[in-house]
């Protein structure tokens, strides 16, 4: 009976922790999707301004486009790329938690079953 209570408590605790981590992962995934959309927008904006600059011969206009659009888009694009990398690392770390919790749960279930 005591073994069953320990099993129930252990399983419940691990399941609760896993649920918490899954919620964190969901939040990270939502944020990742939003940032990925924004990154796509800036990728297009940056690419378009680059093409326009390459097709323009007037240096004054080129400099104006660089100041107004190209440089800010490039900065935003690079910041978003870095943020995406950070979010990917967070996802990887929290997925490791899930894997480890599942591993412990399987081991403990196997111990109690024998």
- Average pLDDT, stretch 65-87? 95
Model confidence at 4, pLDDT cuts 50, 70, 90, reads: low
pLDDT for 9-57, tens place per residue? 888 899 999 999 999 999 999 999 999 999 999 999 999 999 999 999 9
Q: What is the pTM of this model?
A: 0.78
Among candidate residues 32, 31, 18, 66, the one with its CA nearest the CA of residue 46: 66
CA distance 97 to 90: 11
Residue 109's pLDDT band, with cuts at 50, 70 and 90, is confident
């Amino acid at each position: 009976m005591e073994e069953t209570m320990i099993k129930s408590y252990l399983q419940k605790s691990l399941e609760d922790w896993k649920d918490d981590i899954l919620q964190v992962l969901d939040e990270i995934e939502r944020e990742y999707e939003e940032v990925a959309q924004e990154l796509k927008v800036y990728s297009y904006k940056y690419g378009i301004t680059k093409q326009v600059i390459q097709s323009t011969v007037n240096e004054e206009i080129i400099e104006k486009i660089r100041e107004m659009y190209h440089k800010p888009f490039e900065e935003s694009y690079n910041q978003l790329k870095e943020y995406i990398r950070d979010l990917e690392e967070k996802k990887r770390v929290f997925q490791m938690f899930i894997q480890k919790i599942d591993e412990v749960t399987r081991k403990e279930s196997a111990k109690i079953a024998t």
